[in-house]
A = this chain, B = another copy of it.
Amino acid sequence: MKKRHLFTPGPVDVPPEVLAAMAEPLIHHRAPDFIPYFKAANEGLKYVFQTRNPVLTFAGSGTAAMEAAVVNTLSPGDRAITVEGGKFGERWTEQCRAYGVEPIVLEVEWGTAISCERIMETLRANPDVKAVFLTLTETSTGVLTDVETICQAIAETDAISVVDAISALGAERCLTDPWQIDIVVAGSQKALMLPPGLAFASISPKAQALVAKSKCPKYYLSFEKALKAFAKDDTPFTPGVSHIRALCVAAKMIRDEGIENVWARHARLGRALREAAVAMGLKVFAKNPSNVVTAIEVPAAIDGEKITKILRDKHGVTIAGGQEQLKGKVFRIATLGWANDLDVVAVIGALDMTLAEMGHSFERGAGLAAAVRALSA
């Protein structure tokens, strides 16, 4: 008997009640049957985003919503700040360039986060910058950025703040309105506990003012079209009907637990995983680690690819390897979405057995002991 577990930073394991909603008979998106679902999904999103701004839903991957944030607020020739400290920060740069927006790229060492000071210095030196693109949790490195401080500082300027919270929203604290984040982008297959296929973007009034002026070309991802339809509980193009029904179920689970409790749970799981890793003689890669995905350095004597393979083939546990410059150098374990204390115990157990098999020298069970201690704290 093989039980499978996803500890990847999306897709994540989806709760059976959400999967069941994915299998509900189809309804037509412009028939009255659908409207209560669409409204409930949108209310759920506002709660998870902690915002009163409209949260638009696109059929697409998270990258589609990132692109929407660029093309709906900027024009060719505009300048923007991007932060490169991992693969997903780089994506903002690439998307700006694809549309003729000139990024001022702030490089940070992979594994570290950008400081508010550096962002604000750059903004002061370049007062024409229209937008600052940030990444709440950089999935490739496991780094958490202090968008709370940064976005509140940006709010004092003419620029808008745009946060890729795809792998974090609903797991790490992200208070869209209190932190004055103009656009928050998210995806369905992470803490929202759905299959991949929906992308989301919340839009503040300050961002909406830019939308009216933006000259980048767009059609499918047009905020203008989507906002106009949203005001009438509609979408400009056929929405992901099944996903939206499933989102109602997932959002209710989050609401029932309470978003503060959801954040606290992710914090507990992330801390337990990091403490377990250290107790097993491993090193956490990120200086400012996120709770949603933990990048762990591959010990010198060990083949990183093989860790992933043994975990998968022997223990049914799927984790992620390193990306780009971290390929073979880290492995990444996500404790994200439908994940609880016992899932962390399970994955540490699998890691203990795997590392032992590979000849890594460590005290057997020490990771598990550290995990349960941290989980009880």
Contact = CB atoms under 8 A, between A and B. Distances in A.
A31 B219 contact: no
A59 B196 contact: yes
Contacts of A19: 22-25
A6 interface: yes
Interface in A50-95: 58-64, 67, 94-95
Given A64-B59, A237-B63, A241-B195, A13 B31 contact: no
Q: For chain A, what secondary structure do more than half of its interface residues adopt (helix, strand, loop), or is it mixed? A: loop
Complex copy number for this chain: 2
A32 B228 CA distance: 42
A244 to B, nearest CB: 10
Nearest to A21: B23
Interface string A19-38: 11011111111111100000
A137 interface: no
A6 B22 contact: no
A64 B220 contact: yes
B23 A11 contact: no
A220 B60 contact: yes
A238 B62 contact: yes
Contacts of A22: 19, 22-23, 242
A141 interface: no
B29 A239 contact: no
Given A23-B20, A63-B220, A220-B61, A238 B189 contact: yes
Given A64-B59, A67-B219, A8 B28 contact: yes
Interface string A192-221: 000111000000000000000000111111
A144 interface: no
List the 7 closest A-B pairs by CB distance, nearest first: A23-B23, A195-B242, A19-B23, A11-B26, A61-B237, A98-B219, A63-B237
Interface of A: 4, 6, 8, 10-14, 19-20, 22-33, 58-64, 67, 94-95, 98-100, 187, 189, 195-197, 216-221, 237-243, 312, 318, 320
